[in-house]
Amino acid sequence: MTPTPLTRDLIQRAPKVVLHDHLDGGLRPTTVLELAQETNYSGLPTNDAEQLRSWFIADTPGSDLVRYLEGFAHTTALMQTNDQLERVAREAALDLARDGVVYAEIRFAPELHLSGGLTLHEVVAAVLAGFERGMHEARAEGHPIIVRAILSAMRQANLSETIAELAIQFRDRGVCGFDIAGPEDGFPPTHHLRAFHLVQREDFHMTIHAGEAFGLPSIWEAVQFCNAERLGHGVRIADDIIEKDGEYHLGRLANFIRDRRIPLEVCPTSNVHTGAALSIASHPIEVLRKLRFRVTLNTDNRLMSGISMSSEFATCAEAFGWTLADMEWMTLNAAKSAFFPFDQRLEMINTIIKPGYAALRQA
Give me the active site residues, please: 212
81-86 own/partner pairs: CB under 8 Å, 24+ apart: 81/116, 81/118, 82/118, 82/122, 82/126, 84/35, 84/116, 85/113, 85/118, 85/123, 85/126, 85/127, 85/130, 86/126, 86/127, 86/129, 86/130, 86/133
Distance CA 296, CA 331 (A): 7
Rounded CA Rg of the chain:
19
Distance CA 194, CA 128 (A): 26
Going by the DSSP 8-state scheme, the letter that residue 170 receives in this structure is T
Task: Decide: 193 and 225 in contact? Cβ < 8 Å.
Answer: yes
Main-chain dihedrals φ then ψ at residue 215, nearest 5 degrees: -100, -140
In this structure, the chain runs to a length of 363
β partners of residue 180: 153
Given the DSSP bridges, would you call strands 247-250 and 241-244 parallel, antiparallel or unpaired? antiparallel
